[in-house]
Amino acid sequence: MEVIARGAEAVVYADGDVVVKHRPPKRYRAPELDEHLRATRTRREARLLALAKRAGVPAPVVLDVDPEEKKLCMSRVRGEKLSRLVGGMEVPELREVFATAGVLAGRLHAKGIIHGDLTTANMLLSGGRVYFIDFGLGEVSTSHEAMGTDLLVFRKCVRSTHFQQEEVILDAFFSGYRSTFAGAERAIEKMHTIERRGRYFEDRG
Amino acid sequence: MSGEFLCLGIEGTAEKLGVGIVSAEGEILANLVRQMKVAEGIHPSEAAQHHATHLPALVRAGLERAGVEMRELSLIAFSRGPGLGPCLRVAAVAARALALKHKLPLLGVNHCVAHIEIGRLTTGAEDPLTVYVSGGNTQVTAFAQGRYRVLGETIDIALGNCIDQFARELELGMPGGPVVERLARRGRYLPLPYVVKGMDLSYSGLLTAAVRLAERERVEDVCFSLQETAFAMLVEVAERALVQAEKEEVLIAGGVGVNARLQQMLAGMCSEHGVRLHVPPGEVLGDNGAMIAWLGVLSYLSGERQRLEDTHVRQRWRTDEVAVRWR
Ligand SMILES: Nc1ncnc2c1ncn2[C@@H]1O[C@H](COP(=O)(O)OP(=O)(O)OP(=O)(O)O)[C@@H](O)[C@H]1O
Ligand SMILES: [Mg+2]
């Protein structure tokens, strides 16, 4: 199998239409903690990927999970990360893609699925479809706090990495999100509340 | 001496008061810090009182150390935020008074950006991912297009605050960081809540859980586990930010950066990615006046000007709002 990606946590191998995501040990942290994090995230990712698919969110199909080995085997999504595509996209395309991403986030939240790392590096564009990947930090929760946090992660990612397209992306994303999820307003309101609680929130003007 | 561009910087965002004098070439001529005793934690008004009492003498001592007179200075800079309101106001008022009296230009500068810049100056780091951890702040930043972008930060309390408050609750003695670090050397691992949200961190739940765990477990074990958990969270976020921002250096900033275990963990992460870790000398890791003076120099020489009446303090000033014109 060849290595197709080396993320911060995981190494991803591919062979044909199958990929294996392996979380190797991190020697900088306590071995017990390291073992626990890698095993729970591998297990959690498999479970949430399955739930996401059932909620109508395009995501890889889980083929096998081995928490002992910290390996997750899934179908390969042939495409590129949105984080790498944003710079080359025109406004209409940005709108369309991020409205879709917003719809998908809405579908997840409507089913009580929290992604946990909702960033453009964890969204793949393949054949015109947006796929969500990397659910290892996720959880199942219907609390608005959890949803608001999820949304805030996305907003901060856009603010820190796609600052030139920030407005278009966020507008499209939240309009998509609102259009699919009945609890959208409350979750968005919660996102603002969480942000205001933060240490560095400053009222402008 | 005369003819050289010299800036006097006043740092007073929290319990430490600092005065530094730095030249346009980046030579640190003086860097004096006075720390108030904080047995009970920082009470903003007491810290402000402390600063007001000691600032004049500290400025005099700074000038003396640098061997310069007030009239040889070119600029006064002060920490305008983020920080505790009463402390910030003392530093601001003192800086304004000095500027007026000696007819010097005045600049209020961002405390977090000052940490990054003094780190770059003293280590030679060029374009690092900065891991800034102190009693009041926890941020992971990287430069992109004119700003220090915040990739990750705490969503509640700072890492240093988490450790200090833990030490205070258990009455381990102050300052909490070094005490916990020492006790942790004889500890073993117990599970504690590990909370990372995207690239943001949450330490308040960890603090509560650690205090509760200490009611029934050895204090050494809890100290060890608190550090291991809190630092692993931070290093994980730093690692993700490093991969995302594609930087080739990591810089530590902030007082918690002196912790040997944290340095070791960051060094381990860096070596796995083949990037260099820069650790500034202790005198400029924690809050200090030289960093304020240096950022004053950079800002002023890149064209920044402020009118006296526009130097109000900004308690929650964001790092990514500062236009970085000197890079
Ligand atoms: N099912 C898949 N099909 C195709 N490529 C994939 C698949 N899963 C992951 N990848 C690739 O591997 C990369 C890393 O995957 P993932 O985000 O799950 O791991 P990670 O280590 O958590 O990443 P990071 O730490 O960078 O967020 C993705 O950006 C993508 O390029
Ligand atoms: Mg990822």
Pocket residue to mutate for ligand 1, from A9, A45, A83, A133, most atoms within 8 A of Cβ? A133
Q: What is the CATH number of domain B6-115+284-321?
A: 3.30.420.40
Q: Is the pLDDT of residue B267 over 60?
A: yes
Q: Is the pLDDT of residue A109 over 50?
A: yes
Per-residue confidence band for A124, with pLDDT thresholds at 50, 70 and 90:
very high
ipTM (interface predicted TM): 0.92
In this prediction, what percent of chain A has a pLDDT beyond 90?
A: 93
Judge: domain A80-204, CATH 1.10.510.10.
yes
Q: Is the pLDDT of residue B190 over 60?
A: yes
Q: How many whole angstroms separate alpha carbon A26 and alpha carbon A6?
A: 14
Pocket residue to mutate for ligand 1, from A4, A9, A12, A119, most atoms within 8 A of Cβ? A12
Q: Is the pLDDT of residue A205 over 50?
A: no
Spatial neighbors of A65 by CB under 8 A, at least 6 apart, are A42, A43, A46, A71, A72, A73
Q: Is the pLDDT of residue B42 over 80?
A: no
Residue-level pLDDT at A198 = 74
Cα B139 to its chain centre, rounded Å, is: 10
CB pair distance less than 8 Å for A8 and B265: no
Q: Is A8 in the pocket of ligand 1 (CB under 6 A)?
A: yes
Tell me the whole-structure pTM to 2 decimals: 0.94
Residue-level pLDDT at B43 = 81
Residue nearest ligand 1's atom 27 by CA: A7
**Closest-lying ligand 1 atom to the alpha carbon of residue B244:** 26
Three-class DSSP labels, chain B? CCCCCEEEEEECCCCEEEEEEEECCCCEEEEEEEECCCCCCCCHHHHHHHHHHHHHHHHHHHHHHHCCCHHHCCEEEEEEECCCHHHHHHHHHHHHHHHHHCCCCEEEEEHHHHHHHHHHHHHCCCCCEEEEECCCCEEEEEEECCEEEEEEEECCCCHHHHHHHHHHHCCCCCCHHHHHHHHHCCCCCCCCCCCEECCEECCHHHHHHHHHHCCCCCHHHHHHHHHHHHHHHHHHHHHHHHHHHCCCEEEEECHHHHCHHHHHHHHHHHHHCCCEEECCCHHHHCCCHHHHHHHHHHHHHCCCCCCHHHCCCCCCCCHHHCCCCCC
Residue-level pLDDT at B69 = 95
Q: In what order do the strands lie in the sheet with B147-153?
A: B147-153, B138-144, B129-133, B249-253, B276-278
Per-residue confidence band for A199, with pLDDT thresholds at 50, 70 and 90:
low
Q: Which structure tokens are listed for B228?
A: 């291991």
Closest of B147, B151, B77 to residue B326, by C-alpha: B147
Closest-CA distance, B156 to chain A, in angstroms, reads: 6
- DSSP element (H, E) containing A149: helix A144-161
Per-residue confidence band for A200, with pLDDT thresholds at 50, 70 and 90:
low
Q: How many whole angstroms separate alpha carbon B291 and alpha carbon B313?
A: 18
Q: How many whole angstroms separate alpha carbon B147 and alpha carbon A84?
A: 20
Of the ligands numbered here, which is closest to the C-alpha atom of A136? 1
Domain ranges of chain B: 6-115+284-321, 125-281
**φ, ψ at A23 (rounded to 5°):** -100, 100
Q: Which of A28, A157, A197 sits opposite B265 (nearest CB)?
A: A28
**Closest-lying ligand 1 atom to the alpha carbon of residue A122:** 17
In this prediction, what percent of chain B has a pLDDT beyond 70?
A: 98
Chain B residues with CB inside 8 Å of A118's CB? 198
- Provide mean pLDDT across the span B156-181: 93
Residue-level pLDDT at B174 = 80
Q: Which of A37, A121, A159 sits opposite B244 (nearest CB)?
A: A121
Domain ranges of chain A: 2-75, 80-204
Phi-psi region of B246 (alpha: psi -120 to 50; beta: other; left: phi over 0): left
- Provide mean pLDDT across the span B225-230: 98
Please say if A171 is a catalytic residue: no
Per-residue confidence band for B80, with pLDDT thresholds at 50, 70 and 90:
very high
Q: Which of B144, B265, B318 sits opposite A200 (nearest CB)?
A: B318
Closest-CA distance, A75 to chain B, in angstroms, reads: 24
Q: What is the CATH number of domain B125-281?
A: 3.30.420.40
Q: Is the pLDDT of residue A7 over 70?
A: yes
CB pair distance less than 8 Å for B199 and A156: yes
Q: Which CATH architecture has domain A2-75?
A: 2-Layer Sandwich (3.30)
Per-residue confidence band for B45, with pLDDT thresholds at 50, 70 and 90:
confident
Q: Is A122 in the pocket of ligand 1 (CB under 6 A)?
A: yes
Cα B320 to its chain centre, rounded Å, is: 16
Q: What separation in Å is there between the alpha carbon of A109 and the centre of ligand 2?
A: 19
Q: In what order do the strands lie in the sheet with B106-110?
A: B28-35, B16-23, B6-11, B75-81, B106-110
Q: Is the pLDDT of residue B2 over 70?
A: no
- How many other C-beta atoms lie within 10 A of the C-beta of residue A24? 12
